[in-house]
Each structure stands twice: as C-alpha cells, then as structure tokens.
Amino acid sequence: MRDKLYLWLFNAFRAMVRRSSPKIYGPIFSILGSVLPFIDRKHAKIAMINLDFAFGDSLSKTEKKKIIKGCYENLLFNLADFVKNQGIDKKELLSKVEFENESIVEDAIKRGEKIVFITAHYGNWELLPLAVAARFGPLTGVGRKLDSKPMNEILKRNREQYDIRVLDKKGAMKGLISDMKEGRMVGLLVDQNTAEKEGVLIEFFGKKARHTPSASLLARRFNAKIIPAFITSEDRIRYKIRFYDPILCEKSEDQQSDILACTQKQADITEKVIREKPSEWFWFHKRWKNQYEEIYEKGLK
C-alpha cells in the first residue's frame, strides 16, 4: 500500500513538472519551502540543531530559518530535475552544465592516473555524477537502496545512465577496488555521519565528527588523485560543477596518520563549500550524532 502511495505521488509530481516550467513550479516550490518546516517538523528541527551547532550565534535565527527554507526548495528542485533527467540525451544533459577547472580531470586522465571524486549532499548531487560520467567516462559510485522497491528501481535507472555503476553500500569497498583496477573512476559522497568502526575522527565546523576514510584508503592504495567536485546553481536551471585542487594521500610508514590527514583535507574542502552557500547542503542529516548524540536527543524532545 505504501509503495502504491509513493508511486502515485511521484507520478503526480512528474506529470506536473513535465507539463510546466520552472516559471510555474518555481513559485510553488518557494511557498512549499516556507510551509514544509511546519509539516516536516522533525527534520526541520534537526536542521536547526545542526545550524545552531555549526554556526552558533554567528548567524541569526532568521538567517538559519532562511537556510532551512532554501534546503527544502533545493530538494524540490532536485526532484524536479531528477524527473527531467530520466532517459535524457547526453547532449541535452551537458547543455545545462558548466564545468569549472575541468583541466584538473582531463590532465589526470591523460596521464593515466586513478581518480576518486569526492562530493557531498550539496546542490544537485544527483545530477553531478551523470554530468561527470557523460563528460569524462565510466564512473562507479556507492548508494543505499530505498525501502520502496518500485521507487528504488526508478532511482537505479536514473543513476545508472552513461555507464555509471552504483554499488550497494554494504561491502562496497571490494567492488570499488575491482573497478579501479579496471580503470574506472570512482565517486563518493563523504559528508555523512558514520558508525564508530567505519569512520575516523576529524574536525568539521570546529567539532569532532566521524568521517568515512574510503576515499583516503583507495587513494593511498592506488596512488590515486582525490578530486573534490561540487555542483551549485544560481537559478536551478543551469548548473556549475567546480573541480578543486586534487588531494594527495601520503604513503609513509604511518598509515593511520596518512589516512587521518587525507580525510581531514576532504572534510575541510567540504566545509569550505558549505559555508559559501549553506542553503544547498542537506542539513536534515544528524551529521554530528556519533560524538554529540545528546544535542539531537535534547533538541527533538
């Protein structure tokens, strides 16, 4: 029954998007951005807890509420673009994306270097791998299956266009290693909280947080370049993908120190990008839960 409801809602949303334009549904999304915090109270509270924790008094309550509104709007526009990207022609998809510093990727490919892209749930993160694969070649990523089987099939079909391979999160490292040996590029989302045994402790917005070391482990093993890539937009019609200076993982006798230093650099560039435009990050996730679970327990009472 729940699956049927999800499919009905998705199909209704898809019909609305395909029969209209951003000029029509844009104002609707803006209104929903103001309304959803009152409907989706739990996630709105989590977002405020995170913003209070990350920014403290450097941002006013009004500014934080504006960021949360922008987060909801960003999700709605991302879903609309997701609908438009189903079965989209490669040329059409690339026509709405501008690449900045693409020579970083081109030079690495020319030299035959292994590449690990890192990014976050920032901007239109579903469009990012599609555009990178369409422009630069085969890409392997990691994703978590949706609880709804029919909705997961829709998500899977969209994500696996242009020779993209999506591995299930559980046991993904084995597949990533295999694909890197075959010369495929790898892309990882590295901004979410991890379990105690799965992450290393780094500084993120001046607070301790668990961070996945997967990109660091792969880079160290294959002497690969870690290339940060983030996507943003001013009008949510055209998008800019910016590649940042590669992160190189040292290979000394102290592997633990090498991995920690490399992972901290990934957290640093992610924080830098988020600070530039915080309304495009997914603040609804309990990013600091591993070390500061009490802030969520207290804030959600």
pLDDT average, residue stretch 230-234? 97
pLDDT at 6: 83
What is the residue range of 187's domain? 2-299
pLDDT at 301: 78
Q: Tell me the pLDDT tens digit for each residue of 111-150.
A: 999 999 999 999 999 999 999 999 999 999 998 888 888 8
Task: Write the burial class of residue 239 (CB in 10 Å: 0-12 exposed, 13-18 middle, 19+ buried).
Answer: buried
Instruction: Give the distance from CA 266 to its chain's centroid.
Output: 13
Q: Which residue has the tokens 């020579």?
A: 103
Amino acid sitting at position 217: L
Among 4-13, 47-56, 127-136, 240-249, the range scoring the smallest mean pLDDT is 4-13
Q: How many domains does the chain have?
A: 1
Q: Tell me the pLDDT tens digit for each residue of 24-81.
A: 999 999 999 999 999 999 999 999 999 999 999 999 999 999 999 999 999 999 999 9
Reported pTM: 0.95
Question: SS3 letters for the chain?
Answer: CHHHHHHHHHHHHHHHHHCCCHHHHHHHHHHHHHHHHHHCHHHHHHHHHHHHHHHHHHCCHHHHHHHHHHHHHHHHHHHHHHHHCCCCCHHHHHHCEEEECCHHHHHHHHCCCCEEEEECCECCCCHHHHHHHHHHCCEEEEECCCCCHHHHHHHHHHHCCCCEEEEECCCHHHHHHHHHHCCCEEEEECCCCCCCCCCEEEEECCEEEEECCHHHHHHHHHCCEEEEEEEECCCCCCEEEEECCCEECCCCCCHHHHHHHHHHHHHHHHHHHHHHCHHHECCCCCCCHHHHHHHHHHHCC
Alpha carbon distance 98, 120 (integer Å) = 18
